Chains A and B, each alone.
Chain A
Amino acid sequence: MRIGVVVFPGSNCDHDAWYAFSHDLGQQAEYIWHESASLGNIDAVVLPGGFSYGDYLRCGAIAKFSPVMAAVRKFADQGAPVLGICNGFQILVESGLLPGALVRNRGLKFVCRNVTLRVETSNSLFTSAAKRGQSLLMPVAHGEGCYFADERTLDLLEAEDRVALRYLDNPNGSLRDIAGILSERRNVLGMMPHPERASDRLLGSADGRVILESLVQSLVAASA
């Protein structure tokens, strides 16, 4: 499958995502420059972690105006898979592709550590290979990863089974322990933890592969 990895000038997990998909999963991964108005011929797009345009303003606030995000929005509107990791999740909420906001961590400090996640639904392109209730270990590394939304939105997300992942040991104060959410059409996933950093047991965990492999398997199934 062809996986596009968007490169903003301040992306710093672009290579990690590229490496996980191409090296660990054997897929065809390619970079897409932030000034591109089209995504080219790809099956899924990844918005990687980092600091898009420095993010001295709100994280992702400038990225939403980039040419590539217009293309990503069109791609998502067609029902194609969009995976936003960390800064990618922040950009997705800023762009309105996902509801809510990601605000400063409750502890007011950047936090890097392994967290345990619970898969809340297997009804998505990104979690289809997982069992509901399954635990996944992978790192977080962010300063602004506290998921925030009004009660109505939170209730709606839960009612529509759109909370994909929850923290078992909430590192940032996210409301209702939310670590990752799906769009209404379930083709866009935003998550703060880094599955691409947990795609090789050597690095401490290979649980992130569940997310990445779900995506690849879903694409294969759809193209069959």
Chain B
Amino acid sequence: MSALTPAELDKVRSILGREPTETEQGIFTVMWSEHCSYKSSRLHLRKLPTKGPRVLVGPGENAGIIDIGGDYAIAFKIESHNHPSFIEPFQGAATGVGGILRDIFTMGARPIAVLDALRFGPLDDPAHGGRNRRILEGVVGGISHYGNCFGVPTVGGECAFEPCYNGNPLVNVFALGVFRKDEIFYGKASGIGNPVIYVGAKTGRDGIHGASMASAEFAEESKQKRPNVQVGDPFLEKLLLEACLEAMRTGAIVGIQDMGAAGLTCSTCEMGSRAGTGVEIDLSLVPQRETGMTPYEIMLSESQERMLLVAGAGREQEVFAVFRKWGLDAVTIGRVTGDGNLRVKNHGAVVAEIPNRALADEAPLYDRPHNIAPLRPAAMEAPEIPPSRDLNADLLALLRSADLCSKRWIWQQYDYTVRTNTVAGPGGDAAIVRIKETGTSIAMSLDGNSRYCALDPREGAKLLVAECCRNLSAVGAVPAAATNNLNFGNPERPEIMAQLVETIEGMAEACRFFETPITGGNVSLYNETLGEAIWPTPVIGTVGLMKTAAPVTIPFKQEGRTVMLLGGIGSADAVRFGGTQYAKVVLSKLWGLPPSLDMDYEKRVQAALREIVNEELAESSHDIADGGLAVALAECCAGGVGADIAIQTDLRPEFALFHEGPSRAILSTLQPEAVERIARRRRIRCDRIGVTMKTRLRIGSHSDTWVDSPVDRLREIWENAFEGLLAPAHV
């Protein structure tokens, strides 16, 4: 368990002017944990762009908020629940969903979409495959259980597999909610004398020290930390949602914050600190699930489905009436004071008294050493890449691989149609939900590529911002803002800290360039088990705005249409081929550098793509990413319509088919001239590479045929591979 360091303990003594009590020490430990204080990353997070014309609320609140026009706004954020999901996959993932949903509705927004980014060890890993499959099934089950019952559609996400996640899976959950711009609530304990009200579930001993657990590496004994993982109750959360939104409408609520990491401790001192006030509570008034809980346990419990709110003095009864209607506990446990202190009493006796600012804003700030090369798991020079013996078989192997095959098995367990807003659900380049109130829609994409980031964290981060924005552009949406989840190893190791710094700087540059300010997010460090760090895994969630219209989707729709490659065939060389899925699946290797990115060109491709889609020139649209051109073409054939493709290139066939250079998309159209006009105006390449046809995908160059396969076979392999990987017969 990460305790306070001797230097931190000294700082506590100088703040208090005395020895801390046991409860106070516990409070400082969680509030100054990496998870709550971002003490290793804060210095560098400041480099990220956070402002933009649409940004109403940036980092520091429970979620970021942007203006979507028509008097409405959206709140969104991503958060990790990595450590709990390793210890207890089902509940760990379920409470991860619960936590981020509360972050959204505590601001007054009704959650309308969830996406998740998942990382696991390989399902066929010789030593850990069984455990990896069990973790995956538990995580997916937990997300499904919580989101479906709560009634929020899980509309997309992504999932990938690498051995570095064998002992440290990642579960990053993104949630988005909508509300009126003038109905935003903040986590502020304003108004001296106002009552502090506790609502929701009773407090138990579950999850004590979850925040500090999430700030430590795993050793073998971590398996004994199961009691640190909370148990979720999505029905209770649904009641809490409805009750909070209804109570907010009474006008009696001054400020509100959910009890997530560090529970009652975090919500009290953060609300006080934001308002510059003090908060006094008496723990004997807190609804408790168990008897004999100590002040330390009550303050540090991470029991789920609880909220803290401050009401206008004398208006408590209005709040209580709403919560009573929904069958929930609501009790006054204290009041707002003017002295700036968090004063915790138990049956009247003071057990802790700490300045709120010291807890929420004066946590230690570390400039951890990072002036060395980031840790790299691979060599720079390319191995000899033998000529493929069968390109058709290579394509099938990629379509069958865990990273690239259809994840239908996962997303079919999520209710993605509830709330009747889902215009484009899972499986597309971006998910789209309509906003009934404004008549417009929101597109969302989550992306992360730890292979690229392992090879070059700075370039990898730029590539993933670019891809996320390209995904949005592929459905015609204009990128507006983003949220990030930075998953890394132990920041006290300079070679890991260097990965983090490089990633943040690369992400900052790209987010500035693509005009997607980061409005909030999460940093998850110490993702290491037995000294083995995960690869640097930044995940970014981007939101875009668009008109509400029938979506342009990936599959080819009709035969006889012109297939166009927007952005050109791109460039590739052996060094920059080392991070591809071909290198992973066919060659079982990782080396070199990620693909090179020309951000200026990328931006022009995205602008052209949006224009083509929005002018309804494209019948289908798909961004080229993992697996390269050939995999993207095969995915375009998943609707049953194939294509006859001829590529004019001097690249060797492995590179031409499978390199993952960015700034490219595949379109099918009846109006190739109109598409070409837009491409010319944007000064980007656009090639007619073939024609859609029935039943087969054929790809060749000059007189060679590289790929020739019935579409049904491609689809069969791609759609069913995942179930095969999970089947016990595979063991």
| Residues of A in contact with B (beta carbons under 8 Å apart) | 9-10, 12-13, 15-16, 19-20, 23, 49-51, 53-56, 109-113, 139, 141, 143, 194, 196-197, 199-203
Chain B positions 417 through 445: 1 when the CB is less than 8 Å from some CB of chain A, otherwise 0: 11110110000000000101000000000
Contact B413 A197 (CB under 8 A): no
A-B contact pairs, 5 of them (CB 8 A): A9-B235, A16-B420, A112-B415, A141-B148, A202-B548
> Contacts of A9 on B, CB cut-off 8 Å?
235, 238-239, 242, 326-327
- Whether A110 and B420, one on each chain, are in contact in the complex, defined by CB atoms closer than 8 angstroms, is no
| B550 touching A112, Cβ below 8 Å | no
Contacts of B149 in A (CB 8 A): 10, 12, 51, 54-55
User: A19 near B436 (CB under 8 angstroms)?
Assistant: yes
Assembled-state Cα–Cα distance A200/B421 (Å): 10
Known: A9-B239, A10-B235. A113 touches B412 (CB 8 A): yes
User: Which residues from chain B contact A139 at a C-beta distance below 8 Å?
Assistant: 417
Q: B233: which A residues are within 8 A, CB to CB?
A: 54
Residues of B within 8 A of A201 (CB): 550
- Distance in Å from the Cβ of A5 to the closest Cβ of chain B? 13
A15, A55, A112, A141, most chain B CB atoms within 10 A: A112
CB pair B151 A12 closer than 8 Å = yes
- Return the chain B residue nearest A113 by Cβ: B412
Pick the residue among B239, B420, B548, B549 that contacts A197 (CB under 8 A): B420
4 new A-B contacts, CB < 8 A, other than A55-B235, A56-B235, A201-B550, are A19-B420, A19-B436, A110-B413, A141-B415
Find the B residue at minimum CB distance from A7.
B242
Contact flag A50-B151 (CB < 8 Å), given A10-B235, A111-B412, A202-B550: yes
Given contacts A110-B415, A203-B422, contact A12 B150 (CB under 8 A): yes
**In the complex, chain A residues whose CB is within 8 Å of the CB of B591:** none
B238 A203 Cβ-Cβ under 8 A: no
A51 cross-chain contacts in B, Cβ below 8 A:
149, 234-235, 238
Q: Does B416 have its Cβ within 8 Å of any Cβ on chain A? A: yes
Instruction: Provide the residues of chain A in CB contact with B327, threshold 8 Å.
Output: 9
Find out whether the CB atom of A202 lies under 8 angstroms from the CB atom of B423.
yes
Say whether B242 contacts A16, CB under 8 Å.
no
Question: Does the CB pair B235–A13 fall under 8 Å?
Answer: no
Alpha-carbon distance A13/B419, docked complex (angstroms): 7
Shortest C-beta distance, B484 to chain A (Å), equals 28
Known: A141-B417, A194-B417. A110 touches B148 (CB 8 A): yes
Judging by beta carbons under 8 Å apart, are A20 and B242 in contact? no
Complex CA distance for A99 and B609, rounded to whole angstroms: 54
Partner of B418, one of A12, A53, A55, A113: A12
Interface check B414, CB cutoff 8 A: yes
Report the bound CA distance from A200 to B436 in whole Å.
12
Interface size of B as a range: 20 to 34
- Residues in B neighbouring A109, C-beta threshold 8 A: 141, 144, 412-413
How distant is A64 from chain B, measured CB to nearest CB, in Å? 17
**Residue among A53, A54, A199 facing the most chain B CB atoms (10 A cut-off):** A54
CA of A112 to CA of B148, assembled, Å: 10
The chain A residue sitting closest to B414, CB to CB, is A112
- A-facing mask of B514-555, CB < 8 A → 1, else 0? 000000000000000000000000000000000011100000
Residues of B within 8 A of A110 (CB): 144, 148, 413-415
The reply to whether A112 and B416 contact each other, CB–CB distance below 8 Å, is yes
Chain A, Cβ-Cβ closest to B551: A202
- Which residues on the B side are within 8 Å of A23 (C-beta)? 436
B contact residues around A53 at 8 Å (CB): 235
- With the chains together, A15 CA to B416 CA distance in Å? 16
Minimum CB distance partner of B328 in chain A: A9
Minimal Cβ-Cβ distance residue in A for B238: A10
For the complex, what is the distance from the CA of A49 to the CA of B417, rounded to whole Å? 12
Q: Which of B412, B416, B548 has the most CB of A within 10 A?
A: B412
Task: State A200–B149 Cα separation when bound (angstroms).
Answer: 24
Most buried by B among A15, A23, A113, A202: A202
Q: Contact check, B418 vs A16: say whether CB atoms are below 8 A apart.
A: yes
Instruction: Give the interface centre of A9, A50, A51, A113 by most chain B CB atoms within 10 Å.
Output: A9
Given A113-B412, A194-B417, A203-B417, A54:B423 Cβ within 8 A: no
Q: Which residue of A lies closest to B326 (CB)?
A: A9
Instruction: Give the nearest-CB partner of B140 in chain A.
Output: A109
Chain A residues near B242: list those with CB within 8 A: 9
Question: In the bound complex, what is the Cα–Cα distance between A113 and B406 (angstroms)?
Answer: 15
A65 to B417, CA, bound (A): 29
Set of chain B residues within 8 Å of A54, measured between Cβ atoms = 149, 233, 235-236
Cα of A96 to Cα of B105 in the assembled complex, Å:
37
- Complex CA–CA separation, A111 to B371 (angstroms): 50
Q: Is the CB of B434 within 8 A of A202?
A: yes
Separation in Å of the A63 CB from the closest CB of chain B?
12
What residues of chain A lie closer than 8 Å to B413, measured between beta carbons?
109-112
* Interchain CA distance A20-B421 in the complex, whole Å: 12
Task: Knowing A110-B148, A112-B417, A202-B434, say if A12 contacts B238 (CB, 8 Å).
Answer: yes
- Of the candidates A10, A55, A203, the one whose C-beta lies within 8 Å of that of B420 is A203
A55 to B550: give the CA distance in the assembly, Å: 35
Q: Which 3 residue pairs spanning A and B have beta carbons closest together?
A: A12-B151, A54-B235, A141-B415
Question: Contacts of B417 on A, CB cut-off 8 Å?
Answer: 112, 139, 141, 194, 197, 203
- Residues of chain B lying within 8 A (CB to CB) of residue A111: 412-413
**Cα(A143)–Cα(B144), bound, Å:** 10
Q: Which residues 224-270 of B have a CB within 8 angstroms of A?
A: 233-236, 238-239, 242
A115–chain B nearest beta-carbon distance, Å: 12
Distance in angstroms between the alpha carbons of A16 and B152 in the assembled complex: 12
**Nearest neighbor of A33 in chain B, beta-carbon distance:** B325
CA distance A121 to B375 in the complex (A): 67
Max count, chain B CB within 10 A of own CB: residue among A16, A51, A110: A110
Q: What are the residues of chain A within 8 A of B412 when measuring CB–CB?
A: 109, 111-113
Q: Bound state CA distance, A20 and B420, in angstroms?
A: 9
Interface residues in B548-565 by Cβ distance below 8 A to A read: 548-550
| Residue interface mask B118-143, A partner, CB < 8 A = 1 | 00000000000000000000000100
CB proximity of A116 to chain B, nearest CB, Å? 16
A51 shortest CB reach to chain B, Å: 5
Residues on B with beta carbons closer than 8 Å to the beta carbon of A143: 148
- Chain A residue contacts of B238, Cβ below 8 A: 9-10, 12, 51
Residues in B whose Cβ lies below 8 Å from that of A112: 411-417
How far, in whole Å, are A89 and B582 apart by their CA atoms in the complex? 49
Query: CB-nearest residue of chain A relative to B424?
Result: A204
For B408, give the chain A residue with the smallest CB separation: A113
- Measured CB to CB, the closest approach of chain A to B275, in angstroms, equals 32
- Write the nearest CB–CB distance from A170 to chain B, whole angstroms: 15
Find residues 49-84 in chain B having any chain A CB closer than 8 Å to their own CB. Answer: none
Determine the chain A residues whose CB is within 8 A of the CB of B151 once the complex forms: 12-13, 50
The answer for the CA separation of A166 and B239 in the assembled complex, in Å, is 34
Please state if A16 and B144 are interface contacts (CB–CB under 8 Å). Answer: no
Contacts of B420 in A (CB 8 A): 16, 19-20, 196-197, 199-200, 203
Complex CA distance for A139 and B153, rounded to whole angstroms: 13
